[in-house]
Structure 1
Amino acid sequence: MRLRTLLIWLAVVPTVAMGTQVVVTADRLLEQSAHLRADVAQGERTGIPLYRLMVEMQEERSLTAARWAGSSVSRSQLRNQREATDRAEEAFRRSIDGGPAHSEGANRYLLEVTNRLDDLDSQRDRAEAQMGTVDQVIGYFTGVISQMIYVYQEFGSMDDAELTRESQPVVALFSAAEMLAREDTMLASAGPSKELTSYRFADFSNAVGSHRYLYSTWIVPYLPDEDRKAYERIVASDAWRTKDRVENAVMSHHEDRDTGIALPRDVSSWPAAQDRFSEELAALNVDRARGVLAHADAKAGELEAEVAWLIAGSIAALLAAGAVVVFTTRSVLRRMHRLHERTVTVAEETLPDVVARLQRGQRVEDDVLPKPRGDQDEVGRISDAFARVVAVSVEGHRQLADERHGFGMFATGIASRTGNLVSRQLSLTEDLQDTFGHDETLLAQLMRSDQLTVGMRRQIENLLVLAGGEIPDPHTEPMRAADLLREAASEVEDFRRIERQALDEISVEPRAISQISHLLAELLDNAARFSPPTSKVVIRSELVTDGLSVEIEDRGPRVAPERYEEMNGRLHSAPPYSVLAQNAHRLGLFVVGHLADRLGVRVTLRRSAFGGTSAVVVIPRDHLVETERTPAPESLPAAPAPRPVDARKPELVLHVHSGPAADPLPPRPEPPRRAESPPAQAVRTLERDPAAVPALPERVPQTHMVEQLRQPRAPEPAGQDVATPEEVADAWADYEHSTRTVEEELRQDQP
C-alpha cells in the first residue's frame, strides 16, 4: 500500500471515529434533554394536582379526628372538606390518565395511591358511624399521604445529578409539611378533654422531632436565597412562634394520667396558628417545586443548544482536518522522497566503502557518515534514526576489528607465557641431569618441573576458553569440595602459601569439575602473584543459600573501588575481545569471566578485611551433589606409615606424556583418591575411558626416597621457611613486578 493511501486512511479513520463520537454524544444529550422535558411535563401534569390532593387529605384527616373526639366540627364543615378532597382526587386521576409516569417506580406508587383512594368512601362511612377506632381512620389517611411522598421521591430521580440534588429539598419540604399536619391531627384527636393516648402522644413527639430535623438539616441549607428568605419570614411570624410554644408546652408540661396524657391549656391556641403558617408553608412548597421544574426545563434547553454547537463545531473541525491532511500529505511525501534518495546513497555507496576501509585497517573519518540533525518532526526523527543505525553499524565493524586485534594480542601473550614456561622447564631439567643425577633432591626438582608443566597447560587452556573451546574433563565421578580446592591449589606455582579450608561436606558434579578448578586456579594464581611472597593466600568453601561459596583472600596491594567495579563488570559477563585488546595483560580475569558466564557462576571481587582483595565465587546448586558416604573397611593390610605432610601442601602430580597425543591439549586426569599403595610401585596410572586420549601417569609420593627419608622427620623450628633462597628471590621479583604493574595501571586510570 502506498504512503499516500496510508496517509489518507490515517485521516479518514479518525474523522469517521470523531463523527461517530459526535453522533453518539449528540444522541445521548438529546435523550437526556427529552427525559428532562418529560420530567417537567410529568411534574406539571401530575405533581401539582397530587400535592393539592395531599393538602386536602391532610385537612380532612384533622377534621375527621376532631369530630370523632367530640370537638365543635359541624357536619357541613366536614362535608365541604370532603367535597374539596373529591375535586382534588378527580383532578389527580385525570392527570395520570394523560400519559405514562416518569419511571416504573413512580408508576408503582401512583397505582398504590389510586388503589387506596378507592377505599376513601368506605373509610368515611366508618368515620361517620364511628366503627372501629379513630387510629384506624387516621392510619388510612396517613398511609395514602405517605405513598404520595414516595411518588415525589421517584420524580426527583432525574437524569441530571444537579437537578436530582436540587429536588431532594422539595421532597423534604413535603415530608416536613406532613409532620406538621400529623401534629395537627394528634392535637385535634384530643378533643375537648385535651387528653391523648400514649400512642398518639408518641406520634406527636416523633412528628415534632422529625419536622425540626428536616428543616434544619435537609431543607434550609439547600434552599435558594429567595426561598430561604421566605422560610425565614415564616419562622419569624407570630403563628410559627405560637407553634413552637405549643410544641414545647406539650412536650414539657403535659400530665400523665391513668386515662391518658393531659395536654396543657396552651394547645387551645394551636388551630388559629396552624391555619396561618400552613398556608404560607404550602405556598413555599409549591414555589420550590415549580422552581425545580423551571430549572429542569432550562437545563433541557441548554442540552439542546449544546447539541447544536457540537454538530456545528464538528463540521468545522472536519473541514479543517481535511485541509490539514492535504497540506501534510504533500509535505510528508516531499520530505520522504528526499530521505529515500539520501538513504539509497548511503546504503549503496557510503556504507560499503566505509566497511571495506575498516576491514583493511584504515582509518575512517566521521565526516563521511550521516549525522543526526535533531529535527523534532516524524520524518526528521526517521532521518536521525537512520543516521544512528549507520553509526551503530560502523561502530560494530570497528568493534569486530578491535576484537580481532585483541585476540591476536591475546594469542601472542599466551604464546609468550607458554614459551617462558617451557624454557624454564627445559633449563631446570637440564640442571637436574647435569648436577644431581639420582640424588634425593631430584624429587623436589621434578615436582617443581611438574608445577611449571601444569602452569603451561593452564595457559593453553586459557587460550582454548577464550577461543570458544571447552576444557577437556575426564572426570566421571563427583569430587568433594576439599579435593576440588586441593586440585585448584596444585595448579598454582606457589602452592605452599595456599591455605585450604573446606567447611562443609559437598561434592561437585563431574562435568563441571575441570572448569571450576581452572577458574579457582586462575583466581589463586592472581592472589599469589599480587601479594607479598611471605604472606598466605586463604581459600575456604562453605554452603550458602545459593550454592557453594568459595572465598579466596590475599594480602595484596590496595585497589581503588572504581577498579573493583570495573573488574566485577567484566567478571559478571563474558567480556568482549575488543576490551581484551586494551587489557591484554589481564588474561586471568577474562578467562574467569568467560568460565563464570558459561557455568552460571557469580564471581565478585571486593576489599578484604586485611587490606587485600577477596574473591567470592558462588557455585550454583545445579553443579552440586551430595557426597556419598562409604563405610570404612573392617581391616586393612599393614603398610608402612607415610611421612607426615603439611596439611597446606596439595598432593602434587607429575604429568608425563606416555605416547603421542592426538589433540593439542590432553585431557586433565582425575585426581586420585588417597589410599595406601605399596612402596615398590613408583608410578600408577589413572583409570580412563579406553576411547579417550591416553592418560598421564601419576607419581606416588615417597617411592623414590631412601628408607631413612621415609621415616617421620623431626618437627621444624617455628618460623622456618620451607622455601629455598632461590624460590624466595623469584617470588619477591614476581611480587615487585606485579606491584609495579598495578601502580602503573592505577596512574593510567586516574584523570
Structure 2
Amino acid sequence: MKHGGATAERTAGGGFLARLGIRGKLNLLLLPPLAAVVLVSVPFVLTQASSAVAATQSATVAQHTQQLGGLVWQLQRERLLTGAYVATPSMAADQMLQQQKVVNAAVENVRSSLGSDAPDELAAALTRVGSLNELRQNAERRGVALDSVARTYHAVIGAVIDSLRLVPQLTSDAEGTRELTALEALLRANEENSLRGMALIVTAVSPEAGRSILDDATQQAPIFTDRFVQQADDEEDRDQSALVVNVEQSEAGRRINDLAAQVDNPRDSAGTTQYVADVLSASESQAGQRKLVQERVTGEIAEAATGRADAGTRLAWIVGIGAAALFLLVAFLAVAVARSIAQPLRRLTTAATSVADLAGTELVRVTDTEEAEEQIPRLATIDVVSSDELGKLAAAFNRVQTTAAELVERQALTRRNTSLMFANVAKRTQNLVGRQLALIDEVERNEQDTRLLASLYRLDHLSTRLRRNADNLLVVSGTRDDTRIAGPIELSTALRSALAEIEDYQRVKLGVVADILLSSALGADLVLVFAELLENATSFSPPGSMVEVDTMLLADGSCLVNVVDHGIGMTAEKLAEENKRLLERERLELAPTSVLGLFVVGRLARRHDLGVELLATPTTGGVTARLTIPPSLFSHRTGLLPKTEPVAAIPAAPAPAPKPRPAEAVVVTTVSTSDDARPAELPAPAIPALLGHGNGFRWFNQLEPVWPDAEPAEPPAPEPEPESRGGLR
C-alpha cells in the first residue's frame, strides 16, 4: 500500500481556535471544567459535612438512650417488687431493698459516664430518681397506697424518657430521625407493658384504684408498639419489628393476658397472694425479653448512626481534598504544559521527518507466525487543520506512515517469497533423497559383498539424515507436510524412526516405553522432534557414554518422554535462554543461525501444543530434555513395554554372505565387546510410509550378516569434512 504525495496543508481558515497558540487553547479548555468542579464540589462538601454532624448527633442520642435503657429497666423492676411487697404481707423486703441499691448504683454510673456533658433535662431526671427515697421508706413500712407507687414510678420513668428528647429531632439526618422516633416508641411501649403488670397487682388488691391504671396501660401499650412497627422501612428494621412482635406473642405475654382476664375473679387472701406472685413472675419474664430486644435495637441504631457520620465525614474530606488537589494540579499542569509543548513539538517534527527519510533502509521486525500472511494494514492519513506546531507534526507523520506502509508491504512480500523458496528447496531435496534411497535400496538387494553392503548401509543412513535436514527446512518455511505418515503410529515406532535419522543411534538406550498410539497429525512431526533431541544428546556427550530415553504417564494423563545425556551440559543462564527460545516465537533470520534444531523443535512443539523443557542432568552433568505429550494427541493400548537393550549398531567389519531371515521380525545387533555376540530380534517400525524404498530402514529387513574370523586390512578413511548439524546447541 502506498499513500499519495505529500499531504496538502490547509492553512487558510480555521477560525478563532486555529489562531490560538498552545497556551491559549489549554486555558480555554481547562477553565470551564475547573469552574464546574468548584461549583459542584463546594456545595457537595458542605452538604456532606452537615449530614455528618447530624448523624453524629443521632449517634450521641442513641448512645445516651443505650446507657439510660438499663436504668429504666431497673426502675421498672423496682416498681414491680415494691408493688408485690406492699400487696403481700408475708413477703420479705430483702429483694426490694436489694433492687433499690441496684437502681442507685445505676444512677451513679450514668452520672459518671455522662459527666459534665449531660443535658440539663437528663440531669434533672436523674435527680428526680433520688426523690423516690421517701416513697421507698413508706413502702418498706407498707404505709403507702399501691396506686401511688404505680403512678409515682411511672412519672419518674416518663421523665427519664422525656429527657432524651428523642422526638422531635430537628436535624438533616432523616434516617436518624426515623430511627430515634422508633426507639422512643419502643421505650414507651415497654414502659406501658411494665405498668400493666403493676396495674394487675394494684387491681387485684384494690380494684377501684387499679382499674383506671390497668385500662390506660392496656390501651397505650399496643399504640406505641404499632408506632414502632410502622417505622420499619428496610430488612433490618423489619427484623427488629419481628422481635418486638415475638415478645408480645411469647409464653410470658400470653400468661400476662390470661392473668389480666382473671383480675376481676373473686379470691381470698391466699388466692390474692398467689395471683400477685404469678403476675410478678410473668411480668419479670416478659420484661427480661423486652430488655434484650431494646438493647439490641438501641445498639443497632447507634451503630448505624455512627457509620453514617463516619461515611459522611470521610466523603466530605475525600471530595474536598480531591477537588482542591485537582484544581491545583490542573492549574499547575496548564502552566507547565503550555510552556513545554511548543518547543518539543518543533523537535518532534524534525525527528519525524528524519525517521521518514531513514525508514526505507530498515526491516520491519514482526512476531513469527505459522499462519498465512495477514493483510497489510492501511494507515490513516492525519489531516492538517492548522498552521501551528501540531499541523507541521501531522504533515511529517504522514510521511512516516507512507514510508512505513511501503516497508511493511515490501517486507511481507520478501517473507512470503523466502518461505516459498525454502519450501521448494526442501521438497526438491526430499525428492532427490527419496530417489537416492531407492537406488541405494536396489543396490543393497543385489549386492553380496558384505564389506560393500556395510558401506551401502552407512550411505543409506547418511541419506536418511539428509532427508531430515530437508524436513527441517520445510518446517522453517512454515509449510506443513502431512503426507509422511499415513496413520497413527506407536510411540516406540516414532522413537526408532527418529533413531534412524541420527548418526550415533547405537549409543541410544531405550528404557520403558509407554504403549500408546500417537495421532496421525502428530506422528511425523514428533519423529522429527525426537531426532533433533537425540542428535543433540549424542553430539554433546562423550563417545563412550549412553543416551537414555524413557517415558512415563503422568497423573493428568499426559505422557512424559525424557532424553538424558551425560555430556558437557549447559550453564543455568544458557538453559534459561534456550528454554525461552523453545516457548517464544521468533523469526529465523533474526535468531542465530546455529540454533536451527532449536527453532525446529520449538515451532513443532508450539504447533501441537507440546511441552519441551531443557534441564541439567542431576549428578552426572549433561542435559535432560523433557517432552510432554498432551493426552488429546494419543490413545492408550495395553500398558508399558520394557525396552532396556541398547539400539542396534551397524556392523563395522565385513561378513560372509548373509542368509535370509523371517519376514515377520527384523534382526538388530546389540552393542557388545564379545566376539560371539549374536543378533537380537527387534520389532520393525510399523510406519506405512516408511516401509517402502528410500526411507532409512533397510538395515532392519536385510539378511543376517555372518561375522568372519578375522577382518581384512582396510585402508584408512579420509578425514571427514566438518558437518553442520541441526542440533539444539
Larger Rg, first or second structure (1 or 2):
1
Q: TM-score, normalised by structure 2?
A: 0.48
Q: TM-score, normalised by structure 1?
A: 0.47
Q: Could you say which structure has the greater relative contact order, defined with CA pairs below 8 angstroms and 6 or more residues apart?
A: 2
